[in-house]
Amino acid sequence: MMKALPFIERYRPRTLDGLIGNPEILRRLRYFAAQGNLPNILLTGGPGLGKTTIALCLANQMLGSNRSEAFLELNASDERNVSDIRAKVKTFAQKQVTLPAGIQKLVFLDECDAMTEAAQQVLRRIMDDETGSTRFCLACNNISKVIEPVQSRCCVLRIMPATQAELIKYLQDICEKEGVKSDTEALKELITISGNDIRSCLNSLQLVMDANNKVVTVAGVQKALSTIDVKIINQVMKLLTSGKFDEGWALIDNQLNGGYNYDDIYNAMFRYALNSDTEINDVVRASMLRILASLHAKSKTTVSSPLQLCRLLAELFLQLSPH
């Protein structure tokens, strides 16, 4: 049965000890899970960093066998109105449950930044009224959308991405459990493409394994995830440095004709620019990142075109080519 599950569920930790990254935050949560008297907490950070998993592990570890009756999980983007909060959260908070000394019922509201301001005001009042019996764990991507009265009633924990070293070890352990041969450089490539997003890493790893007969290599990662090899970008940069703009553009055009889109090229250039081993000076690197950021912003509101990509290469050519 477990083999049929996607990796993000198959390898979802059940306790705080199974999590990676954010060691100081996890240390504090382990203390509260063991000793009780948990404060209201607000987990904030980008998507895919494990906020939901942290909350579920906290509930498992703190409530144990009482979890089924002492834990309420809601996605606030679905339960976002005043009536939803009153009907479900307040009813649960007022429910009588026998728990060990120092342990309170726990309400987990995921994506609380999607709640209306009126619903957040109702939540704030419930947090005050039920403080003797219930604690609240909130999670959000954008803390600026959480009203100050709610923030001030919580201990704000900023969840950061796991480090590359932590993710490599984590993925290596999964590969070992799956009986898969993995290459460290391939895992680094996968992590870079996934943006250090744990959820994306697991989905990508499973895709690579299925596509490459249980072997994880750099080439296999790039093929399965349809990403451009950074070596191609390195060749383009060398051509621009040699004053060969037409040849550099032709190499990029080959990638477009091969099925890659503009975002694929921008992402490959972004990975190249961030790689400390690349042979470009900091001025060129900064210029490259500035233009890529501008193109990324424009891609959200307009359709990418060859002209935008050509502008990027032209500006790099002017900085790199011999005068």
Domain that holds residue 116: 2-158
What separation in angstroms does the CA of 310 have from each of 147, 175, 193, 262, 304?
A: 44, 41, 24, 11, 11
Q: Say if residues 170 and 162 touch (Cβ distance below 8 Å).
A: yes
pLDDT one-digit tens code per residue, 24-47: 999 999 999 999 899 999 999 998
- CATH code, 213: 1.10.8.60
Tell me if residue 57 falls in helix, strand or coil.
helix
Can you give the pLDDT at residue 126? 93
> What are 3's two structure tokens?
């083999």
Calculate what percentage of the chain has a pLDDT beyond 70.
94
> What are 215's two structure tokens?
């072997």
Running DSSP on this structure, what letter comes out for residue 210? Answer: H
- The CB density around residue 121, as the number of other CB atoms within 10 Å, is 15
- The answer to whether residues 138 and 19 belong to one domain is yes
> Domain ends where: 158, 182, 216?
158
What separation in angstroms does the CA of 32 have from each of 40, 94, 100?
A: 11, 22, 13
The better pLDDT of the pair 80, 74 is held by 74
The better pLDDT of the pair 279, 62 is held by 62
Can you give the pLDDT at residue 305? 74
Running DSSP on this structure, what letter comes out for residue 144? Answer: G
Residue with tokens 């249980």, as numbered in its chain: 214
**What rounded mean pLDDT belongs to the chain?**
89
- The answer to whether residues 64 and 126 belong to one domain is yes
pLDDT band for position 79 (50/70/90)? Answer: low
- The answer to whether residues 39 and 104 belong to one domain is yes
- The answer to whether residues 196 and 239 belong to one domain is no
pLDDT band for position 269 (50/70/90)? Answer: confident
Q: For 228, list phi and psi in degrees, rounded to 5.
A: -80, 135
> Domain ends where: 209, 224, 239?
224
- The answer to whether residues 260 and 287 belong to one domain is yes
CA-CA-CA-CA torsion sign (211, 212, 218, 219):
negative
pLDDT band for position 103 (50/70/90)? Answer: very high
- The answer to whether residues 14 and 104 belong to one domain is yes
- The answer to whether residues 40 and 153 belong to one domain is yes
Can you give the pLDDT at residue 303? 66
CA-CA-CA-CA torsion sign (195, 201, 207, 212):
positive
pLDDT band for position 1 (50/70/90)? Answer: very low
- The answer to whether residues 37 and 70 belong to one domain is yes
Per-residue pLDDT for 266 more than 90? no
- The answer to whether residues 182 and 280 belong to one domain is no
pLDDT one-digit tens code per residue, 145-160: 999 999 999 999 999 9
Assessment of whether the complete model's pTM goes beyond 0.75: yes
The better pLDDT of the pair 78, 39 is held by 39
Per-position DSSP letters for 240-253, written without gaps between them: HHTT-HHHHHHHHH
- The answer to whether residues 83 and 142 belong to one domain is yes
As a whole number of angstroms, the distance between CA 237 and CA 280 comes to: 9
Per-residue pLDDT for 2 more than 70? no
Count of structural domains, the chain: 3
Per-residue pLDDT for 67 more than 80? yes
- The answer to whether residues 152 and 22 belong to one domain is yes
Can you give the pLDDT at residue 276? 64
Running DSSP on this structure, what letter comes out for residue 205? Answer: H
Enumerate residues 6+ apart whose C-beta is below 8 A from 101.
36
> What are 93's two structure tokens?
């908070």
> Domain ends where: 136, 158, 180?
158
Can you give the pLDDT at residue 62? 96
- CATH code, 275: 1.20.272.10
Helices within the chain (DSSP H only): 7-10, 23-35, 51-63, 67-70, 82-84, 91-93, 117-129, 148-151, 164-177, 184-193, 198-211, 218-224, 230-241, 245-257, 262-274, 282-299, 306-320
As a whole number of angstroms, the distance between CA 103 and CA 69 comes to: 13
- The CB density around residue 207, as the number of other CB atoms within 10 Å, is 15
Angle 93-95-96 from CA coordinates, rounded to 5° = 125
The better pLDDT of the pair 317, 73 is held by 73
- CATH code, 77: 3.40.50.300
**Exposed e or buried b per residue across 42-66, where buried means at least 16 C-beta atoms within 10 angstroms of its C-beta:** bbbbeebbbbbbbbbbbbbbbbeeb
pLDDT one-digit tens code per residue, 170-226: 999 999 999 998 999 999 989 988 888 898 999 999 999 988 888 899 888 988 888
- The answer to whether residues 61 and 148 belong to one domain is yes
